[in-house]
A and B are shown apart, each in its own frame.
Chain A
Amino acid sequence: DQQVKQNSPSLSVQEGRISILNCDYTNSMFDYFLWYKKYPAEGPTFLISISSIKDKNEDGRFTVFLNKSAKHLSLHIVPSQPGDSAVYFCAASAHWDFGNEKLTFGTGTRLTIIP
């Protein structure tokens, strides 16, 4: 049962344009969502997060949008840079459900920025 889904395994975007990565979830208990960036054989690097009480969070070039009714979140990267090429993982937790702080990860989207 894949509770967090990233339906696009890969995405290619021209440098300078906007990258939009999508994520869907099924568990309504999830209340905290995160995006991580990962290079092969390295640990994930935390990018940005959003609590379920918000619908948008922005940090520099990164913005995360949350649509709770649709159980959908997206990560926008503007402008996209070559260094953004990596695998991006969406993750979710039921943080206020004690004992469930574990992260449930999506399967990842490989983002390639074309110079």
Chain B
Amino acid sequence: EAGVTQSPTHLIKTRGQQATLRCSPISGHTSVYWYQQALGLGLQFLLWYDEGEERNRGNFPPRFSGRQFPNYSSELNVNALELEDSALYLCASSLGTGDLEGTQYFGPGTRLTVL
């Protein structure tokens, strides 16, 4: 069974540009989560989508947004890129709010570099 996939693997942008990151969850999973791991920092929760709806967001500015498509894949958009947005962006999926435990499985990540 295929795991969580993310694309692209690496992305290089300049300040002020927009970045779009994509994630495909494990088949059968309806919840998608986005996390940021900046250099020297831990994993910080960004966004959670379930059944096409944004359910929760972390302490990040509105420049960070996203959506979930009918096939449960998801897109993370970062507008007006700043240097400190350079980080590893991780997507995770789970069975959704009906799951008794909610284990999240992670993809390999997208390394975003802002120059």
Contact = CB atoms under 8 A, between A and B. Distances in A.
B108 A100 contact: no
Contacts of A99: 55-56
B103 interface: yes
Bin the interface of chain A by size. 20 to 34
A93 B94 CA distance: 13
Dominant secondary structure of chain B at its interface with chain A: strand
A105 to B, nearest CB: 4
Nearest to B96: A101
Contacts of B1: none
Interface stretch (A15-23, A40-48, A69-77): A40-48
B43 interface: yes
B42 A51 contact: no
A98 B33 CA distance: 15
A27 B105 CA distance: 23
Interface string B4-20: 10100000000000000
B107 A43 contact: yes
B106 A46 contact: yes
Contact of B58 (A44, A51, A98, A102): A102
Given A44-B90, A101-B102, 9 more contacts: A32-B101, A34-B103, A43-B6, A43-B106, A43-B109, A46-B103, A89-B42, A101-B48, A101-B94
